[in-house]
């Protein structure tokens, strides 16, 4: 869902920022003009027009921050500020972020680049930026109180260091972290290798996103920052399915996906139809001897995982967190399991008193997607997303890897739903059904049937009486 107009707007701004570099010494002495993003769409890769060339990444529902070259130094300007982030069509959240969005823009540099980052604080409280995973001088590490004074509201600080090693990194505040990360302050940092690297293959498509989580009550806009574990919105780059864009690739592309986890729990990330290898972490590229094929990799808290694979199977492949509660959207958690409970009579009685009353999950939860249940404003259904065969019944950390023969190189447009060749889709059996033969045996090999009672017996369990103090437990 790339918007061409958005692309030209971004490219224009990037061009503007770069052109400014050629203007005058006075202009260069000033801060680089901050570039803001108003859209939550996936922006096309920002092809570098200054500095060493590299193959840019695509940030899922995100964008890369343009820079200017100032006497050989790459200069970026991050603005920490309150933002309104569209988490999915129909749901907006009041978050904190950088340059108009949460997460902030991806910063892309090349191994060996000298980088200068101006950070302006427009938040109502102090902040700092920690450059997670970087080798840098201690005083540039961004831990407020420990390595620098905090950046007070209205102030701008300058960070400067050389991007010493290639890899996938993150940035986030190291000041009032609980609040600021719960409010969405974070971003990705990619350092590309300066030359061919024995452990970093060149790829055709290079995607990245952060795992994050929010606790926003249905009908409200601002996350509850005291929540420790029971978040109700599990997001990729502060987007929830069906608001997460698909990953669109060409058949046989070499694909890389970089995933960083800034939530409070781990996320087993799973791809359908393909195997991948973990080729890097925030510690750098993994040695070849430490790689093995996987279809799920756990990304623990504060970790990054870089996975590589060849997209050699056409189709629409689910790509998601394997924790089933993380592929759902906001809901109350205090819902009893009702499977197998027949409570139609009760529901009828209650609905006389409460017209909107609805019984949840008598036959599982799938019914919930079809019921026209009234939901509060600014709330996305719990399980949703229309596919070509009906509801996908997903939410949260879910997207689709779309592999197509005719996807052009460099084209990230959504190709639409996969058209399955005739005879390759699971179908309904319409023939006769025979009753399954059920075993009559009373047990397995270790317990021969002749020693087993032929019918059910009643077992009485007597709780031991507390004759001695020790028997009690």
**CB 323 → Cu ion: shortest distance, Å?**
4
Part in contact with Cu ion (CB under 5 A); list of ranges 134-142, 197-205, 315-323, 425-433: 315-323
Q: Roughly how many angstroms between the first and final C-alpha of the chain, as a whole number?
A: 61
Site string for Cu ion, 337-366 (x = CB under 5 A): ------------------------------
132 counts as binding Cu ion under rule CB under 5 A: no
Our CB check for Cu ion shows the closer of 123 and 210 to be: 210
Our CB check for Cu ion shows the closer of 192 and 239 to be: 239
- Interface with Cu ion: number of residues (CB under 5 A): 4
Restricting to residues 241-300, which ones interact with Cu ion according to CB under 5 A?
267
- CA-CA distance, 108 to 76, in Å (whole number)? 10
Among positions 91, 255, 321, 382, the unique one binding Cu ion when judged by CB under 5 A: 321
Exposed/middle/buried for 463, CB within 10 Å: 0-12, 13-18, 19+? exposed
If you write DSSP's letter for every residue of 60-117 in order, what string do you get? TT--B---EEETTEEEEEEEEEEEEEEEETTEEEEEEEETTBSS--BEEEETT-EEEE
**CB 322 → Cu ion: shortest distance, Å?**
7
Our CB check for Cu ion shows the closer of 52 and 323 to be: 323
**CB 101 → Cu ion: shortest distance, Å?**
22
Among positions 52, 116, 291, 323, the unique one binding Cu ion when judged by CB under 5 A: 323
Q: Residue for token digits 């399980």?
A: 383
- CA-CA distance, 123 to 130, in Å (whole number)? 17
Our CB check for Cu ion shows the closer of 57 and 397 to be: 397
**CB 320 → Cu ion: shortest distance, Å?**
8
Part in contact with Cu ion (CB under 5 A); list of ranges 107-115, 292-300, 321-329, 353-361: 321-329
Whether the Cβ atoms of residue 173 and residue 182 lie closer than 8 Å to each other: no
Our CB check for Cu ion shows the closer of 236 and 412 to be: 236
305 counts as binding Cu ion under rule CB under 5 A: no
326 counts as binding Cu ion under rule CB under 5 A: yes
Our CB check for Cu ion shows the closer of 35 and 60 to be: 60
Whether the Cβ atoms of residue 261 and residue 302 lie closer than 8 Å to each other: yes
* Beta-carbon contacts of residue 330 (< 8 Å; ≥ 6 apart): 216, 217, 218, 232, 233, 379, 380, 382
The secondary structure of the chain in percent helix, strand, coil, rounded to multiples of 5, reads 10, 30, 55
Our CB check for Cu ion shows the closer of 285 and 395 to be: 395
Within 10 angstroms of residue 465's Cβ, the number of other Cβ atoms is 8
| Residue 42 in tokens | 């996936």
Q: Under the rule (CB under 5 A), what is the footprint of Cu ion? A: 267, 321, 323, 326
């Amino acid at each position: 869902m790339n918007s061409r107009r958005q692309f030209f707007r971004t490219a224009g701004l990037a061009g503007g920022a770069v052109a400014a570099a050629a203007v005058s010494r006075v202009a260069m002495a000033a801060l680089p003009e901050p570039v803001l993003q108003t859209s939550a769409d996936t922006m096309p890769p920002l092809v570098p027009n200054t500095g060493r060339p590299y193959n840019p990444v695509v940030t899922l529902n995100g964008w890369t921050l343009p820079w200017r070259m100032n006497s050989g130094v790459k200069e970026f300007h991050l603005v920490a500020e309150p933002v309104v982030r569209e988490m999915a069509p129909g749901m907006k959240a009041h978050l904190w972020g950088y340059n108009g969005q949460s997460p902030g823009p991806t910063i892309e540099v090349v191994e060996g680049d000298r980088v200068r980052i101006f950070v302006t604080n427009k938040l109502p409280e102090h902040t700092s930026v920690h450059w997670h995973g970087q080798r840098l001088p201690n005083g540039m590490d961004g831990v407020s109180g420990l390595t620098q004074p905090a950046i007070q509201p209205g102030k701008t600080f300058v960070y400067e260091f050389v991007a010493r090693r290639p890899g996938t990194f993150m940035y986030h505040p190291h000041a009032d972290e609980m609040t600021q990360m719960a409010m969405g302050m974070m971003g990705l940092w990619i350092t590309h290798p300066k030359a061919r690297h024995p452990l970093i293959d060149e790829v055709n498509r290079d995607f990245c996103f952060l795992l994050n989580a929010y606790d926003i009550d249905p009908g409200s806009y601002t996350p509850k920052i005291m929540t420790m574990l029971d978040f109700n919105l599990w997001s990729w780059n502060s987007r929830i399915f069906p608001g997460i864009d698909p990953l669109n690739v060409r058949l046989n592309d070499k694909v890389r996906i970089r995933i960083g986890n800034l939530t409070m729990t781990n996320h087993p990330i799973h791809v359908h139809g393909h195997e991948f290898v973990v080729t890097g972490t925030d510690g750098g590229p993994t040695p070849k001897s430490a790689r093995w094929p996987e279809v799920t990799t756990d990304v623990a808290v504060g970790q990054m995982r870089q996975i590589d694979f060849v997209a050699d199977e056409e189709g629409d492949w689910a790509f998601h967190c394997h924790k089933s509660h993380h592929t759902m959207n906001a809901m109350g958690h205090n819902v009893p399991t009702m499977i197998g409970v027949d409570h139609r009579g009760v529901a009828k009685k209650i609905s006389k008193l409460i017209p909107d009353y609805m019984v949840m999950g008598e036959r599982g939860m799938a019914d919930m997607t079809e019921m026209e249940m009234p939901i509060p404003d600014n709330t996305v259904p719990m399980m949703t997303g229309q596919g070509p065969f009906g509801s996908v019944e997903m939410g949260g950390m879910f997207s689709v890897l779309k592999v197509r023969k005719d996807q052009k190189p460099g084209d990230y447009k959504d190709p639409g739903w996969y058209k399955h060749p005739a005879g390759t889709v699971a179908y309904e059996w319409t023939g006769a059904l025979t009753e399954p033969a059920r075993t009559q045996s009373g047990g397995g090999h270790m317990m021969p049937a002749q020693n087993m009672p032929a019918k059910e017996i009643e077992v009485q369990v007597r709780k031991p009486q507390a004759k001695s103090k020790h028997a009690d437990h």
